[in-house]
Structure 1
Amino acid sequence: MWWLTKRKKVDIISAGWLEGMTDIHCHLIPAVDDGSRSLDESRQLIEAMRSIGIQRIITTPHIYRRYPHNDSNTLHEGLERILPDLSDLGVPLTLGAEYMMDEGFETQLTKPLLTLGSSKYLLIETSFVGAPLDLYRLIQLVISAGAIPMLAHPERYLYMGDEEYSRLRGAGCAFQLNLFSLTGMYGEQVEKRAQQLLERGFYNFVGTDTHRIDFFRKTISSAKTYARYREPIRSLISNNQTLVASLE
């Protein structure tokens, strides 16, 4: 019966929802932020990601005041340093970044930008407790710099409401879903918010936001959401591929 199908939850890993996915948001360069802590952990993460169907990765280390040495130059060096040791895994690894809109953000916009893959999309985030007072001015600065702002995990900004999400879309922001928000990784409130945004068609892209191997293994061991979300998620996965298409 249709209402039973609508309420049915499935394990998205065993159901193969992620087959062929390009992950556009994760933290795999060792010891540059709160992601992978070592080359060995990066290797384990990539192996685990490959095992669930992920075939290509754009790694997106944090750029904000907590990590003052992170910029385009240092992060390129960090990626180049590990690529030879990971090439045998057969998962192409490309560099992007996740930019915090903090007091150093404007300075970062004057430097070479780490957009996602071959695209103009710049992954941005705000604090989880509130947006900067000049949020829309900063978004316009991203656009003036020749990039397209992509807001990371908007479902996690519980201080935002429907009006704010709509205004952000109207200002030119794309939205990136953290996939495992739908499976309860960040709690019930975030899960419900992700469902609402997905059902209303707010999302453009999807990523895993993978950081640490132990947590990732726990997450994928029981990753269930409603079966009705399969096609929307597969559509977002297809959109991801456009960000790296010219690199293949």
Structure 2
Amino acid sequence: MWWFAKHKKVDIIAAGWLEGMTDIHCHLVPAVDDGSRSLDETRQLIEAMRSVGIQRIITTPHIYRRYPHNDSDTLRQAIERLLPELSDLEMPLTLGAEHMLDEGFETHLAKPLLTLGDSKYLLVETSFVGAPLDLYRLIQSVISAGAIPMLAHPERYLYMDDKEYSRLQGAGCAFQLNLFSLTGMYGERVEKRAQQLLERGLYSFVGTDTHRIERFRKTIASAKTYARYEEPIRTLMSNNQTLMPPHEQCTSRASM
């Protein structure tokens, strides 16, 4: 009986795990990165995200050299153009950004920072191949700029080991889980790494990292993970809500 309870899997969509979620990592600004390709796709994504229980969204377009026109100024202009087109959907949508820690990163620290919601957290990532040689200096530059680095999807950096994760947290990084890493979206190795980090209590926040409507629909059609992770995931979702201004925080089962 103990073994069965530990290894029982559930469909997290059917079980309502996303009910009331504030998603803090997704790519919904159309045609600025590898996320939504059009206004129509953004509308479809928002409707699909609402259908699984998501109630608030911080959208986080990429800022790095692959998209040279993206910075805090141009992305704010883009979201200002976008919001009136989405007003009928009545989905609270706030702009953040996902910053690549590369050689051009520090130039963006001189501009108004696109932190997450009403917080000081700045979402950052590294290459999936390897971290920059000056990773810890870049992390310190975030802190010196008055922000808190939040490392996106650390479970996907398979070049890291336990010692590196601990060192990153010791340097001041918070960790953000990609929820669907736990359901095998990125393969078995990433799934196992996500399980390990979650069981060690290293995550503080959770996002969907939604990009395209086809992938999102496929993912939610079969999103299963171990039932024992429900409580820690609800805790992370509750943490997400603290990033929003008090009058914009939504009520979810995680905070009841």
Give me the TM-score of the superposition, normalised by structure 1.
0.99
Superposed CA offset, 1:184-212 (max 9, x none): 00000000000000000000000000000
Residue pairs, 1:132-211, within 5 angstroms: 132-211=132-211
Conservation of the 8 A alpha-carbon contact between 1:117 and 1:247: no
AA partner of residue 199 (structure 1): E
CA deviation string 1:152-201 (max 9, x = no partner): 00000000000000000000000000000000000000000000000000
Contact 1:124–1:150 under 8 Å retained in 2: yes
Secondary structure (helix, strand or coil) at the match of 2:57 reads strand
Matches within 5 A, 1:8-157: 8-157=8-157
Unaligned ranges ≥5, structure 2: 249-256
Tell me by how many angstroms 1:247 deviates: 5.3
1:139 aligned partner, one-letter code: I
Tell me the matched-pair count: 248
Q: Are the aligned partners of 1:185 and 1:219 in contact in 2 as well (CA < 8 Å)?
A: yes
Instruction: Output the CA distance in 2 between the equivalents of 1:232 and 1:58.
Output: 21
- Partner amino acid for 1:60? T
Q: CA deviation at 1:245?
A: 3.1
For residues 125 and 247 of structure 2, the distance between their equivalents in structure 1, rounded to whole angstroms, comes to: 25
Contact 1:99/1:125 (8 A) holds in 2: yes
Give the letter aligned to residue 203 of structure 2.
Y
1:39-83 deviation digits (Å, cap 9, x = unpaired):
000000000000000000000000000111111111011111111
CA contact (8 A) 1:20 1:54 kept: yes
Describe the superposition over 1:101-154 as per-residue Cα deviations: whole angstroms up to 9, x where unpaired.
111001111111100000000000000000000100100000000000000000
State the SS of the aligned residue for 2:26. Answer: coil
Give distance in 2, aligned partners of 1:21 and 1:128: 27
What amino acid maps onto 2:157 in structure 1? Y
Instruction: Give me the whole-angstrom Cα distance separating, in 1, the residues matched to 2:237 and 2:152.
Output: 15
* Match of residue 223 from structure 1: 223
Greater CA drift, 68-77 or 156-165: 68-77
- The one-letter amino acid paired with 1:23 is D
Mapped partners of 2:82, 2:112: distance in 1: 21
Identity of aligned residues (%): 84
2:251 match: none
- Counterpart Cα distance in 2 of 1:3 and 1:235: 24
Structure-2 separation of matches of 1:82 and 1:172: 34
CA distance in 2 between counterparts of 1:246 and 1:94 reads 14
Cα contact 1:118–1:247 (8 A) shared by 2 = no
Question: Whole-Å Cα distance in 2 between the matches of residues 90 and 2 of structure 1?
Answer: 44
In 1, Cα distance between equivalents of 2:221 and 2:20: 19
Deviation at residue 246 of structure 1 after TM alignment: 3.4
Identify the range of structure 1 (74-83 vs 92-101) with the bigger mean alpha-carbon deviation.
Answer: 74-83
Partner of 2:238: 238
More divergent stretch after superposition (77-86 vs 50-59): 77-86
Query: Match for 2:216: what amino acid?
Result: F
Q: Which amino acid aligns with 1:81?
A: R
TM-score, normalization: structure 2?
Answer: 0.96
CA distance in 1, matches of 2:226, 2:129: 29
Question: SS where residue 54 of structure 1 aligns?
Answer: coil
In structure 2, the residue corresponding to 1:232 is in which secondary structure? helix
CA contact (8 A) 1:176 1:204 kept: yes
Runs (5+) with no aligned partner, structure 1: none
